[in-house]
Amino acid sequence: MRGQQDSTFQLGRNGFKIPVDNTDSETDFLHSDRMILVDAKKQIRGYYLGTDSSDMSRLKNDLVLMLDDLENPKRRRKRYND
Reduced to 3 DSSP states, what percent helix, strand and coil does the chain have, rounded to the nearest 5?
A: 35, 15, 50
For residues 57 and 32, the model is more confident at 57
Percent residues over pLDDT 90 in the chain: 21
CA distances for 81 relative to 29, 59, 66, angstroms = 29, 10, 11
Domain ranges of the chain: 5-71
**pLDDT for residue 79 is more than 90:** no
**pLDDT for residue 62 is more than 90:** yes
Question: How far is it, in rounded angstroms, from Cα 61 to Cα 10?
Answer: 29
Can you list the pairs that 15-18 forms with residues at least 24 positions away whose Cβ atoms lie under 8 Å? 16/44, 17/44
Label residue 23 by pLDDT band (50, 70, 90): low
**pLDDT for residue 20 is more than 60:** yes
